[in-house]
Structure 1
Amino acid sequence: MPFNLNRYTDFLRQLVAEPSVSCAVPRWDMSNQRVIELLANWLADYGFEVEVMPVPEHPGKFNLLATAGQGDGGLVFAGHSDTVPFDEGRWQSDPFTLSERDDKLYGLGATDMKGFFPVVLEALREIDLSKLTQPVMVLATADEESSMSGARHLVASGGLKARYAVVGEPTGMTPIHMHKGILMESIRVIGSAGHSSNPALGNSALEAMHEVMAELLDYRTELQQRYHNPGFAVALPTLNLGCIHGGDGANRICGECELHFDLRSTPGMHNDELREQISRRLTPLAQRRKVDIVFSTLFEGVDPFYQDLDSPLIKACERLTGQQPASVAFATEAPFYRELGMQTVVMGPGSIDQAHQSNEFIEIGQLAPAAKSLRGLIETLCMAETRIA
């Protein structure tokens, strides 16, 4: 079946035209409702049963789950409906008007990742849904670029049951079987201010923070001695001291100091355990220095993702794309689908090098092969007489 570029472009043009920025900064944050409504209408026209689900405690944010076929297995094509913020002054064209130049389609979200959904629609075109032996599902989530509230709600509600999941982030259709996790934390040390001429008049939060940072760097060394994964370009877990703020004058003892850091973990590590270990290390320091140490989460975090190379889904993707499985440094929603018990791969058209950039584009030449590979997954996993385990 030939790839219909005009049809693809029409779908993507409509998606790009609907702003759906998600951001922790309220003035940037937007609803994704119009994008969800477009996808819902198109998939309903394809014969899918469509459910639009509001994300609790996030007004204006919605997930979409569209299902065709029945069975206890099934394949999910999963993507997020939101984009990052943008700097219009750095764009050569309107970020919300899809434009074509040099065999590329430009627009906000063209690669990350509105461009994935029309590829899925093209893969589904002319498939006889009555011949499905296992269900095919299309999932669009909210807020992946900020809080990942959409995927978190799915896990909390148990509202998604399938055997396989394809997360269509831009990988050039390379099957990604693992990525690092991430957590971002704030540590606030509260001492007491006083005149700098007499140290007894206060209790320096800045001096205590100096010890906190030393403890964190020691902890980083221990983690890097315990964990090593040669499958990553940076094989070790990393911990970065990102920014620090404290005090208000050279002649005052610092009463309060705050540090922000991130930790990128490798498979086998878990964010909740990491937070607990850090807290346990710093508690004696707080007691000894007679300061309060207050933890807060800047970003709830994503655990590392790993899918066994020998799993049927990875093998099928390897065969259909002709590409060897690999790893990436960026985080995705994949760990949530693994938590729900699905074999999962991160794989979609486009390049992560274009994501979060001005003049974002997706290469037209990648689209037809991507649709062919996704269609092959449907035929292999959801139309075969004998289901792959």
Structure 2
Amino acid sequence: MTVIDILERLVAVPSVVGTPNHAIVDGIRAILAEAGARVHILPGPEGDRSNLFATIGPAMVPGYVLSGHMDVVPAGEAGWTGDPFRLRAEDDRLYGRGTSDMKGFIAAALAALPALTAAPLARPIHMAFTYDEEAGCQGAPHLLPHLPALCAPPLGVIVGEPSGLRAIRAHKGKAAARLTIQGRAGHSSRPDQGLNAIHAMSLALSGAVAEAERLTAGPLDAVFEPPCSTLQVGTIRGGQAVNVIPDSCTAELEARAIAGVDPAALLAPVRRAAERLSEQGFTVEWTGTSAYPALSLPAASPLALLLEELTGQTPLAAVSYGTEAGLYQTTGVDAIICGPGDIARAHRPDEYILTGELLACQSMIERLGARCRL
């Protein structure tokens, strides 16, 4: 099968984040098994989703991991000019949900299997494909504890998020939370008899706005845009009607942290301000919804130099979006981002990847395989 044939199969499976993923896991497993790879399916605690880990070559010799996520964001937004889950070609563009983010990388890795298995590898190449990355890297933490039993400590992990096939050495970390405040309903003419949850929420969120402003003063890291950690409120819901005292209000907020800063700690002042509302009779519920650490790989690291050799381009210092690469780094393994496509095409109608980008990524992986035969 060509890389386009494989991508067509992958796009046809609507592996939307937060839904069962057996169909795409089984499809990828079949391709890997046919090529002779050793495949492990690692179910997550949800019971209907699994990670997949495969090995070509000697597992207990240090090698390299190609990492990608199998889930995609929903495709219900307006603006699609065709079926999001049917690969559509127009000139050099291949349209479909997940083509850039990031089934294109998975397709390139699978298309490289004939070259990777053509001769014995002295060092292995592993493929680690996860679920629910789009929900804040939910699947990868259930894969990482299995690595010591599946392979020798890797020399490096290449996370194939869309980067124009230029390696990226760093990204920010993230923590997100949901804050719910319960008050007491009543008629708006008697605010003294109720507890207005929206008013209470405004007190908590004023702290979030102040903290976001404070972060602009530093600490700073010029490799990021913006160079500071950030905090924002993303959603807020509450109330039934203008003449009813709202008894419930929920907000979702996130912090993104430069390397060396704990993103969860950035949310702590907001949580403390919210929990003080319980002294006024409100019920406060704080739920962490996702978190992943920052990535920071030195420019002189062997993995960065390898990717410069494989791509012919000097790695970029950093991006502000996040990936699973930081999670790998917390296990003591070097990780870097490098994949086909463009992040600017992701999460929007008519997502696409270029045929040339797919073929270039496949060639890069094949060159990595050739190095592993030395």
- In the superposition, the TM-score normalised over structure 2's length comes to 0.87
Q: What CA distance in whole angstroms lies between the structure 2 residues aligned with 1:250 and 1:121?
A: 56
Contact 1:68–1:137 (Cα < 8 Å) also in 2: yes
Task: Provide the residue aligned with 2:68 in structure 1.
Answer: 79
* Alpha-carbon shift at residue 12 of structure 1 (Å): 1.6
State whether structure 2 residue 333 is matched by structure 1 residue 350.
Answer: no
Q: Which runs of 5+ in 2 are unaligned?
A: none
- Residues 148-180 of structure 1 show CA distances to partners (whole Å, capped at 9, x for unaligned) of 332121134456642311111111101111122
Task: Provide the residue aligned with 1:152 in structure 2.
Answer: 141
Task: Provide the residue aligned with 2:127 in structure 1.
Answer: 138
Q: What CA distance in whole angstroms lies between the structure 2 residues aligned with 1:130 and 1:217?
A: 58
Q: What CA distance in whole angstroms lies between the structure 2 residues aligned with 1:202 and 1:88?
A: 39
State whether structure 2 residue 304 is matched by structure 1 residue 314.
Answer: yes
Identify if the C-alpha distance between structure 1 residues 168 and 193 changes in structure 2 by more than 3 Å, giving closer, same or farther: same
- Residues 46-92 of structure 1 show CA distances to partners (whole Å, capped at 9, x for unaligned) of 22111122222231x22211112223411011111122211387433
Q: What CA distance in whole angstroms lies between the structure 1 residues aligned with 2:190 and 2:346?
A: 53
State whether structure 2 residue 239 is matched by structure 1 residue 244.
Answer: no
* Mapping for residues 1-389 of structure 1, pairs under 5 Å: 7-23=2-18, 29=19, 31-59=20-48, 61-70=49-58, 71-87=60-76, 90-127=79-116, 131-146=120-135, 148-158=137-147, 161-194=153-186, 200-250=192-242, 253-284=245-276, 286-287=278-279, 289-297=280-288, 299-326=289-316, 327-380=318-371, 382-384=372-374
Q: Match of 1:206, SS?
A: helix
Sequence identity percentage:
33
Amino acid at match of 2:355: I
Q: What CA distance in whole angstroms lies between the structure 1 residues aligned with 2:364 and 2:78?
A: 37
Q: Match of 2:100, SS?
A: coil
Contact 1:170–1:348 (Cα < 8 Å) also in 2: yes
- Residues 11-59 of structure 1 show CA distances to partners (whole Å, capped at 9, x for unaligned) of 2222222222224xxxxx3x32222222222222322111122222231
| Length, aligned pairs only | 369
Identify if the C-alpha distance between structure 1 residues 158 and 277 changes in structure 2 by more than 3 Å, giving closer, same or farther: farther
Amino acid at match of 1:66: A
Identify if the C-alpha distance between structure 1 residues 73 and 97 changes in structure 2 by more than 3 Å, giving closer, same or farther: same
Q: Which runs of 5+ in 1 are unaligned?
A: 1-5, 24-28, 385-389
Amino acid at match of 1:217: V
Q: What CA distance in whole angstroms lies between the structure 2 residues aligned with 1:213 and 1:89?
A: 31
- Residues 337-380 of structure 1 show CA distances to partners (whole Å, capped at 9, x for unaligned) of 11222111111111112212222221112233322222333334
Q: Match of 1:14, SS?
A: helix
Q: Match of 2:112, SS?
A: helix
- Residues 174-224 of structure 1 show CA distances to partners (whole Å, capped at 9, x for unaligned) of 111112223332222334445555654344433333321222222223333
Q: Match of 1:169, SS?
A: coil
* Alpha-carbon shift at residue 330 of structure 1 (Å): 2.2
Q: What CA distance in whole angstroms lies between the structure 2 residues aligned with 1:182 and 1:154?
A: 19
Q: What CA distance in whole angstroms lies between the structure 1 residues aligned with 2:204 and 2:270?
A: 10
Q: What CA distance in whole angstroms lies between the structure 2 residues aligned with 1:22 and 1:244?
A: 22
- Residues 112-155 of structure 1 show CA distances to partners (whole Å, capped at 9, x for unaligned) of 21111232234343345654222210121122223533212113
Q: What CA distance in whole angstroms lies between the structure 2 residues aligned with 1:192 and 1:32?
A: 41
Amino acid at match of 1:235: P
Identify if the C-alpha distance between structure 1 residues 215 and 275 changes in structure 2 by more than 3 Å, giving closer, same or farther: closer
Q: What CA distance in whole angstroms lies between the structure 1 residues aligned with 2:125 and 2:315?
A: 23
Q: What CA distance in whole angstroms lies between the structure 2 residues aligned with 1:361 and 1:86?
A: 13
Amino acid at match of 1:103: D
Q: What CA distance in whole angstroms lies between the structure 2 residues aligned with 1:200 and 1:87?
A: 43
Identify if the C-alpha distance between structure 1 residues 16 and 251 changes in structure 2 by more than 3 Å, giving closer, same or farther: closer
Q: What CA distance in whole angstroms lies between the structure 2 residues aligned with 1:109 and 1:243?
A: 25
- In the superposition, the TM-score normalised over structure 1's length comes to 0.84
Contact 2:179–2:286 (Cα < 8 Å) also in 1: yes
Q: What CA distance in whole angstroms lies between the structure 1 residues aligned with 2:218 and 2:30?
A: 50
